[in-house]
Chain A
Amino acid sequence: MPSDPDIWLHIIYGYLHDLAIATYLGGAVAMEFVLGPAQGSIPPAQAQVMGQKTSDRFLWLVWGSLGVIIVTAVLRLEHLGRLDWTWPFFNSGLSLDQSYGRTILAMFLLWCVLVVNGSLVTFVFRPRLAGKFTPGTSAAQVTASQTAKMQAATWIQRLTRVDLGVAVVIALMGASLKWGGLI
Chain B
Amino acid sequence: MDTLLATVHALAWAVYVGGSITMEWVLRYAQRTMPPSQVGVVCKNAGTRYRWFALVSLLVIGASGAAMFLRIDDAELAARAGSPELSLGDSYGRTMLLLTVGWLALAATVAAMAFWLHPAQRKRSRPDMTSEAIAAERLRIGRAIKQMDRALKFELVVSVICIGIAASLRTGGLI
Contacts and interface: CB of A to CB of B under 8 A. Distances in A.
Nearest to B39: A42
Contacts of A130: none
A31 B30 CA distance: 13
B136 interface: no
Contacts of A96: none
Nearest to A58: B26
Interface string B76-90: 000000000000000
A19 B42 CA distance: 27
Contacts of A172: 3, 7
Contacts of A31: 22, 26
Contacts of A49: 33-34
B172 interface: yes
Interface in A1-24: 1-2, 7, 10-11, 14-15, 17-19, 21-24
B167 A18 contact: yes
Contact of B18 (A23, A53, A174): A23
A22 B14 contact: yes
B21 A23 contact: yes
Nearest to A28: B18
A27 B156 CA distance: 13
Interface of B: 2-3, 6-7, 10-11, 13-23, 25-27, 29-30, 33-35, 38, 41-42, 45-46, 49-50, 53, 91, 160, 163-164, 166-168, 170-172, 174-175
Interface of A: 1-2, 7, 10-11, 14-15, 17-19, 21-31, 33-35, 37-39, 41-43, 46, 49-50, 53-54, 57-58, 61, 168, 171-172, 174-176, 178-179, 182
